[in-house]
Each structure stands twice: as structure tokens, then as C-alpha cells.
């Protein structure tokens, strides 16, 4: 259940690396029990923002409070209540799988017995039991991501930060992560996650913040964003030079985009208008599909590649 208590609050939050502004004066709030997704192209400032939330980086300017504590003065308290699965693999290669968890637990002052108990539980859930005593080097990418997620839960955090938790995972492992996120949400854990998978954001997040060039350019529930920016349905069809004119006539307010040899038609009109059009015109390779978050994301951030 999402409450109206603000658990993470940022205003004018800014981070500069020398002269480069990675996070440019952003304001946002995350409510207790909410799962909020940060979506943005590479280099948008997502990881930098997450790092400020768990006191890995100090803001250059602005205010940031986590669970009522100020990141400038109360980092110890923040670290106690936050769990982090960072984007990069920072597992300790000198320790076994189990020892990575138990050692991490000791930073939180968790007793040896309790640490072992929690570690075993996490290994079981994330299906890593067989790897309990294996060295980190022997794990696949998917196993490492799952272990990093498991480690983030060892202190039973109130706030969980997941930076690209499913990048590089196969569909099975991705669903395991989704299940865990849903379970934690039910337990009342407040979650911020970043992802490049729009379907993931759509199914897991109560609210989405779209970031680009260090700023929040839009926010809302997935449903609100889709309805506002894309509409209900998208018509996709093979490009033919006569089509744009025909489509413009049929759907005056429509946005028509050409992607290679396909056309996409976006309209804010209700269900059914595309079917009516298709009954009149016999066309090949046509598809009507529901509008989705990916449509929103590409509309707002463009189709240009962002290399990092
Ligand atoms: N330690 C650093 N020093 C200098 N520039 C950095 C550093 N970390 C990130 N950046 C730059 O800041 C911008 C935002 O990076 P990041 O927060 O990692 O974005 P995202 O996670 O959205 O891909 C990028 O342009 C990146 O190159
Ligand atoms: Mg990142």
C-alpha cells in the first residue's frame, strides 16, 4: 500500500562532476510503499541520483532526505535503512557466494548466526543454493545480478534501490526478480528502480519519472503517461508512398512516424477507429496494438542513440 508519507524527498538536487552537470536541479518525492521507476537514456543521470540517495556521492547542491534523514549529515542512519543493488558488479571476488552475503551483513552489525540465517534464505529464494560455496568468478552474469540483489536485502531495508537489476538477465531470471520486487512491495518496502526495459517499468512501477540530460522531463503512472502522450492504440503498417496522405485524411490529429519501411500511427481517438479504416482499405502486414511505455519513452527522448 502506498501511503502519503514522503520517504525520499529531493529539491533542487544537483550533482556536478568538475564542470559537467550530471543531475541538474531535480525535485521529486517518493512515497512510502511506492515503487518508482527512473527511466532515461544512457547518461541521463539515473545512477548518479541513486548514488546520492545512498550516500555514495554527496550532492553538489540542493536538498535530499531519505527516511527523514539528511544525506549531508546523517549518512550512517540512511545506510542502515537502505538496500542497494548497484548497476556495476561490486561483489568481492576473494570471497565465496555465501561469504559475500555474510560479510556484508556484518557491516550492519547483524550477528553471525542471524547473518548466516538470512544469507541462506536469500540464496534459496534467488536459486543460488548450489553455488553457496562457489567463488564469484564461477558465476554467470545472471547469477551475479541475483546475488547482488540478494545482498541488498540482507539488512531488511525499508528503502530498496535497484539500478538496472535485470540488465543482461534471461527471461526466467528476470521474472524471478519481478516476483521478488512484487513480494517486497507487498511487505511495504519502498523501491526505486532504473531499467531500460519498458515492459518492466510498466508492470512493476506505480509511478515513472522520465529523466534526460540530468532533468526530470515527465512523470506519472504508466497509464497516465501512455494516455497523455500516445493514446490508446497504435496502428503499424508497411510504408507505401500513398499512405501518409491517406492516413492524414482519415486521422487528422494523428502523429505519423516512419521507421524504415514501417509506419506507425498514433492517435488520441478511441478504440475502433483503426479497424474502421482497415475495413475500407485493404492493406498488407497491418497490426493494431495497445500503446505502451516504449512509445512514450521514444516520443519524449527521441530515437537518437546515446552511447556511454
Ligand atoms: N565519476 C564520474 N566522473 C565524471 N563524469 C561522470 C562520472 N559518473 C558519471 N558521469 C557522467 O555523468 C552523466 C550521468 O551518468 P549516470 O548517472 O551514470 O547516467 P545513467 O545512469 O542515467 O546512465 C554521464 O554523462 C556520465 O558520463
Ligand atoms: Mg546508470
Domains of the chain: 6-226 (3.40.50.300), 231-291 (3.30.70)
Q: Residue 303's pLDDT is what?
A: 73
Q: Residues 173-177: what's their mean pLDDT?
A: 92
Average pLDDT, the chain: 94
Do residues 147 and 97 make contact, with C-beta atoms less than 8 angstroms apart?
yes
142 Cβ inside 6 Å of ligand 1: no
Residue that the C-alpha cell 506519472 belongs to: 220
Ligand nearest to the CA of 308: 1
Contact 183 CB / ligand 1 (< 6 Å): no
pLDDT of residue 220: 97
What's residue 110's pLDDT?
96
* All residues at 6 or more sequence positions from 306 whose CB lies less than 8 Å from its CB, including other chains: 41, 42, 43, 44
Ligand 2 center to residue 162 CA distance, Å? 10
Report the alpha-carbon distance of residue 33 to residue 187 in Å, rounded.
8
Q: Please tell me the distance between residue 263's alpha carbon and the centre of ligand 2 in angstroms.
A: 32
Distance from C-alpha of 22 to C-alpha of 286, rounded to nearest angstrom: 42
- Helices 141-152 and 97-107 pack at an angle, to 10 degrees, of 30
260 has pLDDT over 70: yes
Query: Percent of the chain scored above 70 by pLDDT?
Result: 99
Determine the 3-state secondary structure of 165 from DSSP: coil
The reply to whether ligand 1 has any atom less than 6 angstroms from the CB of 214 is: no
**Region for 109 from its dihedrals, namely left if φ exceeds 0, alpha if ψ lies in -120 to 50, beta otherwise:** left
Top mutation candidate among 16, 23, 48, 59 for ligand 1, by most atoms within 8 Å of CB: 48
Paired strand residues for 289: 234
Give the number of the atom of ligand 1 that is nearest the alpha carbon of residue 18. Answer: 4
In this structure, the number of other CB atoms found within 10 A of the CB of residue 140 comes to 13
pLDDT in tens, 113-135: 999 999 999 999 999 999 999 99
220's grid cell: 506519472
The rounded distance, in Å, linking the Cα atoms of 305 and 303 is 6
pLDDT at residue number 48: 98
Name the residue with cell 527471461: 171
pTM of the model: 0.93
Give the DSSP H/E element, type plus range, for residue 299.
helix 293-301
Distances (CA, A) of 286 to 93, 235, 281: 51, 7, 11
Question: Residue 285 phi/psi, 5° resolution?
Answer: 55, 50
Q: From ligand 2's centre to the CA of 34, what distance in Å? A: 21
In the chain the beta strands, taken as DSSP E runs, fall at 6-17, 20-31, 35-39, 61-66, 69-70, 82-85, 159-163, 190-194, 207-212, 215-220, 233-238, 255-259, 262-266, 287-290
Q: What cell was used for 65?
A: 532526505
CA of 284 to the centre of ligand 2 (A): 41
Ligand 2 is an ion; its neighbours by CB within 5 Å are 46-47, 87
Q: What is the mean pLDDT of residues 263-269?
A: 86
pLDDT at position 76 over 90: yes
List, in sequence order, every residue forming a beta bridge with 83; answer none if it has no partner: 160
Nearest ligand 1 atom to the CA of 51 is 17
Q: Which ligand is nearest to the CA of 306?
A: 1
Question: Who wins on pLDDT, 214 or 172?
Answer: 214
Residue of 167, 207, 205, 210 lying closest to 301 (CA atoms): 210
Burial string for 33-48 (b: 16+ CB within 10 Å, else e) reads bbbbbbbbbeebbbbb
Ligand 1: centre distance to CA 16 (Å)? 10
Average pLDDT over every residue of 216-244: 93
User: Does ligand 1 lie within 6 Å of residue 22's CB atom?
Assistant: yes
The whole-angstrom separation of Cα 239 and Cα 246 is 12
Model confidence at 308: pLDDT above 70: no
- Residue 45 near ligand 1, beta carbon < 6 Å: yes
DSSP string, 87-134: SS----TTSBHHHHHHHHHHHTT--HHHHHHHHHHHHHHTT-GGGTTS
Amino acid at each position: 500500500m502506498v501511503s502519503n508519507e514522503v520517504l525520499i524527498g529531493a529539491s533542487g538536487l544537483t550533482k556536478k562532476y568538475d564542470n559537467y552537470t550530471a543531475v541538474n536541479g531535480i525535485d521529486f518525492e517518493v512515497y512510502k510503499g511506492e515503487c518508482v521507476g527512473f527511466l532515461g537514456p544512457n547518461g541521463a543521470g539515473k545512477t548518479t541520483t541513486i548514488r546520492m540517495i545512498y550516500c555514495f556521492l554527496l550532492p553538489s547542491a540542493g536538498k535530499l532526505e531519505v527516511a527523514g534523514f539528511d544525506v549531508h549529515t546523517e549518512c550512517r542512519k540512511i545506510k542502515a535503512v537502505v538496500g542497494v543493488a548497484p548497476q556495476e558488479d561490486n561483489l568481492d571476488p576473494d570471497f565465496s557466494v555465501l561469504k559475500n552475503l555474510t560479510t556484508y551483513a556484518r557491516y550492519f552489525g547483524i550477528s553471525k548466526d542471524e547473518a548466516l540465517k538470512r544469507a541462506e534464505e536469500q540464496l534459496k529464494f534467488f536459486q543460488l543454493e548450489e553455488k553457496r560455496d562457489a567463488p564469484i568468478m564461477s558465476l554467470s552474469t545472471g547469477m551475479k545480478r541475483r546475488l547482488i540483489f540478494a545482498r541488498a536485502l540482507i539488512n531488511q531495508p525499508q528503502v530498496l534501490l535497484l539500478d538496472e537489476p535485470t540488465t543482461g538477465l534471461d527471461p526466467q531470471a528476470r521474472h524471478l526478480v519481478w516476483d521478488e520486487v512484487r513480494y517486497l512491495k507487498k511487505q511495504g518496502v519502498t523501491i526505486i528502480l532504473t531499467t531500460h526495459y519498458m515492459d518492466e517499468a510498466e508492470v512493476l512501477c506505480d509511478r515513472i519519472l522520465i529523466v534526460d540530460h540530468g532533468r526530470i522531463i515527465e512523470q506519472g503512472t504508466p497509464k497516465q503517461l501512455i494516455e497523455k502522450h500516445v493514446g490508446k492504440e497504435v496502428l503499424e503498417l508497411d510504408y507505401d508512398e500513398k499512405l501518409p496522405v491517406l492516413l492524414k485524411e482519415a486521422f487528422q490529429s494523428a502523429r505519423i512516424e516512419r521507421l524504415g519501411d514501417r509506419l506507425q500511427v498514433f492517435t488520441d481517438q478511441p478504440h475502433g477507429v483503426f479497424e474502421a479504416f482497415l475495413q475500407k482499405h485493404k492493406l498488407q502486414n497491418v497490426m493494431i496494438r495497445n500503446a505502451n511505455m516504449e512509445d512514450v519513452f521514444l516520443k519524449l527522448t527521441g530515437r537518437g542513440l546515446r552511447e556511454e
